[in-house]
Amino acid sequence: MALLKILRDPDPTLRKTSRPVDAITPRIRVLIEDMKDTLRKAEGVGLAAPQVGVLRRVVIVDMGKGKLQEFINPEIIYTEGKQEEVEGCLSCPGKAGIVERPAVVTVRALNVQGQTFEATGTELIARCFCHELDHLDGVLYIDKVKEMLDPEEN
């Protein structure tokens, strides 16, 4: 597969709303595989299609131990509690800040076979779900940050 270029803020593509995936075509499958390769290379936790210049509702999340899961047309269906933790972003390199997110998040989406599934995450995965789904609506974590941190302290 191929490595994709990760867009950086203030690229205007990052501020646009992504369109739903109507059909899981060979093109979408290639996008997903390329996004997985790109995420592995970048050593991130999640990646949204807008970050690689594709305005489609697709995200990839490392669910732990290197298991990358695709989420097509994801939606948050449940949240519980709250947490405040440090976030960064592959599209905002060298920056980090404290963001408040739910402590537990459940997402419903399609997988690459077109099957509906649900996944629940806590702590880092819950933050990642929220962070990546925000990208689909043109929202960056820096829009929600409570406090930016000094880059030398990260």
* Active-site amino acid positions: 132
Report the C-alpha gap between 137 and 75 in whole angstroms. Answer: 11
Start-to-end C-alpha separation, the chain: 32
Residues 6+ apart with CB under 8 A from 104: 78, 79, 80, 81, 120, 121, 122, 126
Report the C-alpha gap between 79 and 9 in whole angstroms. Answer: 28
